[in-house]
């Protein structure tokens, strides 16, 4: 349980918050559908539980998804590169970051122009193709995103997803990246190049500290992810939930209190959250 001493005694009730990866977790890996998550999403909406996306997706992609879902919540884009806090969210006050209407933004990663400069500098030595080297049509073909979604995925602000001709050179590329203040992580479909100071877990913990400054309740955090780059989410929450891959296998993550969803994607996401919420309610009754 994450508690802040100055606020813990003001109200005994629990404030829950859900932090979730998108691709392969809330969204099905192949179809990007969240249809099977509807039951838990409805419960989250009814109980007014904050639902924070932590994703490799871009701000425009998240905005489109939130608009389609009819929600307006804080979100973390491009693998922990930045937290976007919507104006007047629960009338909370965010006294850090910079204004980018309609958000306050807390940037933890590098800028995309820095990242692209590095990509161009290593392209002669390493055969890599970044989103900035690909057309929206290429990205659509590689990801299965619709043409409209692929355009939004290409609107990067902080990080670069890329493909590498020969994985054997990954270690060398990582070394060169580190020497320049960047790092390489592996996502579901692509490698990602990003600023070395960013991570999904760091961004989550910053968001939690902003929540604690604004809520006068005890905070209980639930986190969901499916890949190695979600470890930061799962180790930073009170209740970590690991979603299996489409073939039913689980990412090898060693956390003592982890719960394993029984089904991949949106159906496992929904079923496990409902289980957890029911258990919490029974405990509180």
Q: Which residues are catalytic?
A: 21
152 versus 224: smaller Cβ distance to Mg ion: 224
21 versus 157: smaller Cβ distance to Mg ion: 21
24 versus 74: smaller Cβ distance to Mg ion: 24
Token pair 């969240």: residue: 34
Q: Find the binder of Mg ion among 16, 18, 24, 272 (CB under 5 A).
A: 24
How many Cβ atoms sit within 10 Å of the Cβ of residue 208? 19
Residue 21 engages Mg ion in binding (rule: CB under 5 A): yes
Q: Give the shortest CB-214-to-Mg ion separation in angstroms.
A: 28
Tallying the residues shown for the chain, one arrives at 285
* 77, 119, 130, 193, 231 from 136: Cα distances, Å: 19, 18, 12, 19, 30
Sign (positive or negative) of CA dihedral 207, 279, 12, 6: negative
Q: How far apart are CA 177 and CA 19, in angstroms?
A: 29
43 versus 189: smaller Cβ distance to Mg ion: 189
Strand partners, 219: 2, 15
Q: Give the shortest CB-226-to-Mg ion separation in angstroms.
A: 5
Q: What is the size of the binding site for Mg ion (CB under 5 A)?
A: 6
Q: Which residues touch 68 (CB under 8 Å, ≥6 apart)?
A: none
Residue 195 engages Mg ion in binding (rule: CB under 5 A): no
State the residue number with the nearest CB to Mg ion. 24
Stretch that binds Mg ion, among 22-30, 121-129, 140-148, 189-197 (CB under 5 A): 22-30
Q: How far apart are CA 101 and CA 88, in angstroms?
A: 11
Binding characters for Mg ion, 210-249, by CB under 5 A (x = yes):
----------------xx----------------------
Q: Give the shortest CB-152-to-Mg ion separation in angstroms.
A: 17
Closest C-alpha to 34, from 265, 281, 273: 265
207 versus 227: smaller Cβ distance to Mg ion: 227
Q: Using CB under 5 A, which residues numbered 115 to 134 contact Mg ion?
A: none
Q: Pull the structure tokens for residue 32.
A: 């990007």
List residues binding Mg ion (CB under 5 A). Answer: 21, 23-24, 188, 226-227
């Amino acid at each position: 349980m994450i508690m802040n001493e100055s606020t813990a005694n003001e109200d005994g009730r629990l404030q829950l918050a859900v932090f979730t990866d998108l691709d392969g977790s809330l969204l099905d890996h192949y179809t990007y559908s969240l249809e099977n998550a509807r039951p838990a999403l409805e419960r989250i909406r009814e109980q007014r539980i904050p639902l924070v996306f932590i994703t490799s997706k871009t701000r425009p992609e998240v905005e489109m998804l939130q608009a389609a879902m009819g929600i307006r919540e804080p979100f973390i884009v491009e693998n922990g590169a930045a937290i976007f806090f919507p104006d007047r969210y629960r009338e909370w006050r965010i006294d850090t970051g910079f204004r980018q209407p309609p958000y306050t933004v807390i940037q933890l990663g590098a800028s995309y122009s820095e990242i692209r400069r590095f990509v161009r500098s290593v392209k002669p030595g390493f055969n890599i193709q970044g989103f900035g080297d690909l057309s929206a049509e290429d990205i659509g073909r590689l990801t299965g995103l619709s043409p409209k979604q692929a355009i939004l995925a290409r609107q990067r602000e902080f990080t670069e997803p890329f493909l590498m001709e020969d994985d054997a050179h990954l270690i060398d590329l990582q070394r060169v990246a580190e020497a320049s203040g960047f790092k390489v992580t592996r996502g579901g479909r692509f490698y990602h190049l990003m600023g070395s100071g960013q991570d999904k877990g760091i961004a989550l913990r910053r968001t939690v500290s902003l929540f604690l400054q604004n809520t006068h309740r005890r905070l209980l955090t639930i986190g969901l992810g499916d890949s190695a780059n979600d470890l930061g989410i799962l180790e930073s929450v009170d209740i970590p939930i690991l979603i299996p891959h489409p073939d039913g296998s689980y990412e090898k993550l060693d956390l003592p209190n982890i719960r394993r969803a029984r089904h991949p994607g949106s159906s496992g996401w929904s079923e496990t959250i409902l289980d957890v919420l029911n258990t919490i309610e029974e405990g509180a009754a």
